[in-house]
Chain A
């Protein structure tokens, strides 16, 4: 798929290309990762499809524009299973994600210590290329759009400190994708399921560089 693409080394860090709707995951020859979601067999030459409900627009969009479209059709689209059978082999979910991980980059910063136990729903959020993570309170947002703005805010300052300029607009085709780890330990693309379901399932968030998706795809359970 053509169109505006932000390369990884581009100094503009447009954000969170979540659900570039109507996309398929394709690895093209020049290593650019195209993200599309559509039903299998839909929209022409898609080699890989996540089989998710077709989104109206085909152009890759920023996350906020994605939200203009119904996230889900009549119900939850069943995720295509990587393994052929549900619950096979019979191991508990937490054992599926024990793949060796590198040690975390440094101890968590002081500001992450919680002095008081708040009733908010704080989840960790990390961004590729930034060693220090943040925490974001999901209970203060009620939609993916607000989440996206909040994430944008969070990392804007950190990115600025690193000397990068940030146009930081949500509707640019960014080189980034927002994913989350759910309660079964699987890494999932943000935006597929209704917000409430997402909030109950999400354990932590991560902003991935889109070129890393090919690597992280192995780790993702899709």
Chain B
């Protein structure tokens, strides 16, 4: 192919959409490397510390879209102290200098300040899409800057971020802004200017996705929907009103006009008697997220489910109960993804919950189910074995038994066999989270059978180093491994040091790893960053003391220069 002109090669590369394919072709020869790097439009960086911003910009000067991930996954559960890093500013600064044509930026678990948002808004004249997931460090002032300066903004998606409320910002979208296709500010807490919102929806005729925050009243919702009947994805605000009132009746008739609505979420606060307005839409829904609706009782949930025969993705709280999951199983035959969250995570167990029965009935009733996140009070081996038989097509299986180290209540045995059945049966499994009482045996099974596994989360499991060793030996495709509160120590950590260069990252907290072993790992593998975290910044205790938290990741950028005092890069 070297006798084709470069434009032709570039055109051929345009058909390669996956990052992995493009990475591969760039390795073939220098000519292809050059063509590929100059024509690359999208870059995904799974760990922002794996490479320096400057490197990105010099290799790919023409990128239009960048997706970056920052903190380790367990930061979501407060295991990473504040100030850890993952700052977006160096990236935005570098790209502002080198790639002025940037159109899209996706950040996950990163820290982004208002100043950075302002820089972003002013530096990229063609900027179209900003997606922030689980980020923090900014306020509504930064959002106001985006609204004000990004003339061609199509997408502003704020998903589960920590945002400071500094005032109204929706009114900062100029009258000339008509390009919005997707606006999600569901995670915000501050007040919303209802009139500005209505006007915005009216003039953005291409708006397809709108997710409102809990500050938006039902009245405003009904007016907004009237102006946006073409919506495909809606997140309600606060769904509270007198069901005999005019705004509610208006809402009900507005909903009838929304023929395109396929995805529904929100329901931050709910008046149950107002739910019937939603039933006509339910029959067309493919995605339903009721996982924020702590005030919808099981019976009401079930009524909604009965109307939603076409669901493909359902997120719900465990208030639905096993009985409700039975209804899901008999109604939602197209279901592919199910997430059941705990309604009372720190409670004493007296609240509603689901058990192995709910999971079992869904596995029997929904033949297309392949992705599950399930928080339950108990699980049995028998149920897991049946689930494995019923659903051999799981790609993501995350099970969280709320009581750590809880055995099978029927037999009092560990859940090794149950999970073993899952990995044996589900050949395409890419993501797995295990819980309950587990010995080293489960890791033997995972290492042996889960050949396509890419991400594994382990908590309160295992008995000895052997567990982790079998895991490391077996799972060839493993990319992310996160472990907490397991008795894995130095031997396990050091058994296969080379493997860490094939992985994105390893997290170990409250295990039995000593500082000495971490130092040994760091010495052996210069292309890994071995970061030890001590919550109170105190690293005294010597080499044989156990490290609280360990984060190991491969990198070509060397040790990072923005680590806080409580992080020690060995």
| A, B co-complexed | yes
CA–CA, A100 and B300, complex, Å: 14
User: Which of chain B's residues have a CB closer than 8 A to the CB of A112?
Assistant: 191
Tell me the residues in window 280-301 of chain B with beta carbons closer than 8 Å to chain A beta carbons. 291-292, 294-295
Whether the pair A114, B269 counts as a contact (CB closer than 8 A) is no
Given contacts A103-B271, A114-B168, contact A91 B345 (CB under 8 A): yes
Whether the pair A91, B341 counts as a contact (CB closer than 8 A) is yes
Cβ-based interface call for A221 (8 A)? yes
User: Which of chain B's residues have a CB closer than 8 A to the CB of A121?
Assistant: 166
Whether the pair B78, A93 counts as a contact (CB closer than 8 A) is yes
Q: Which single member of B141, B238, B294, B317 contacts A117 (CB below 8 Å)?
A: B141
Cβ-based interface call for B2 (8 A)? no
Whether the pair B167, A103 counts as a contact (CB closer than 8 A) is no
Chain B CB count within 10 A is highest, among A82, A95, A107, A118, for: A95
Chain B CB count within 10 A is highest, among A90, A203, A221, for: A90
Cβ-based interface call for B174 (8 A)? no
B535 shortest CB reach to chain A, Å: 9
Cβ-based interface call for B144 (8 A)? yes
Q: Which single member of B134, B238, B240, B342 contacts A89 (CB below 8 Å)?
A: B342
Whether the pair A86, B160 counts as a contact (CB closer than 8 A) is no
Tally of chain A residues near chain B (CB < 8 A): 35
Cβ-based interface call for B404 (8 A)? yes
Which residue in chain A gives the minimum CB-CB distance to B457? Answer: A90
Tell me the residues in window 100-147 of chain B with beta carbons closer than 8 Å to chain A beta carbons. 134, 140-141, 144
Given contacts A91-B342, A94-B160, A96-B345, contact A85 B404 (CB under 8 A): yes
Which residue in chain A gives the minimum CB-CB distance to B317? Answer: A98
Cβ-based interface call for A80 (8 A)? no
Whether the pair A203, B189 counts as a contact (CB closer than 8 A) is yes
CA–CA, A86 and B75, complex, Å: 11
Cβ-based interface call for B343 (8 A)? yes
Tell me the residues in window 96-120 of chain A with beta carbons closer than 8 Å to chain B beta carbons. 96, 98-101, 103, 107-108, 112-114, 116-119
Given contacts A89-B345, A99-B344, contact A113 B162 (CB under 8 A): no
Cβ-based interface call for B485 (8 A)? yes
Tally of chain B residues near chain A (CB < 8 A): 45
Whether the pair A83, B294 counts as a contact (CB closer than 8 A) is no
CA–CA, A101 and B294, complex, Å: 8
Which residue in chain B gives the minimum CB-CB distance to A186? Answer: B346
User: Which of chain B's residues have a CB closer than 8 A to the CB of A100?
Assistant: 294-295
User: Which of chain A's residues have a CB closer than 8 A to the CB of B168?
Assistant: 113-114, 117
Cβ-based interface call for B205 (8 A)? no
User: Which of chain B's residues have a CB closer than 8 A to the CB of A90?
Assistant: 74, 76-77, 400, 457, 459
B336 shortest CB reach to chain A, Å: 22
Whether the pair B294, A92 counts as a contact (CB closer than 8 A) is no
Whether the pair A83, B141 counts as a contact (CB closer than 8 A) is no
User: Which of chain A's residues have a CB closer than 8 A to the CB of B536?
Assistant: 75
Whether the pair B189, A103 counts as a contact (CB closer than 8 A) is no
User: Which of chain B's residues have a CB closer than 8 A to the CB of A103?
Assistant: 238, 240, 269, 271
**Closest A-B pairs by Cβ, 3 of them:** A87-B77, A100-B295, A98-B294
Given contacts A98-B317, A98-B343, A99-B343, 9 further A-B contacts (CB under 8 A): A85-B485, A89-B342, A90-B77, A100-B294, A103-B238, A103-B240, A114-B167, A117-B144, A122-B166
Interface on B for A, CB 8 Å cutoff? 74, 76-79, 134, 140-141, 144, 160, 162, 165-169, 187, 189, 191, 193, 217, 238, 240, 269, 271, 291-292, 294-295, 317, 341-346, 375, 400, 402, 404, 457, 459, 484-485, 536
27 contacts between A and B (CB under 8 A): A82-B346, A83-B346, A85-B485, A86-B78, A88-B404, A89-B345, A90-B74, A91-B375, A92-B76, A93-B78, A95-B341, A95-B342, A98-B343, A99-B344, A103-B238, A103-B240, A107-B217, A112-B191, A113-B168, A114-B168, A114-B191, A117-B144, A117-B166, A117-B167, A118-B166, A119-B166, A122-B165
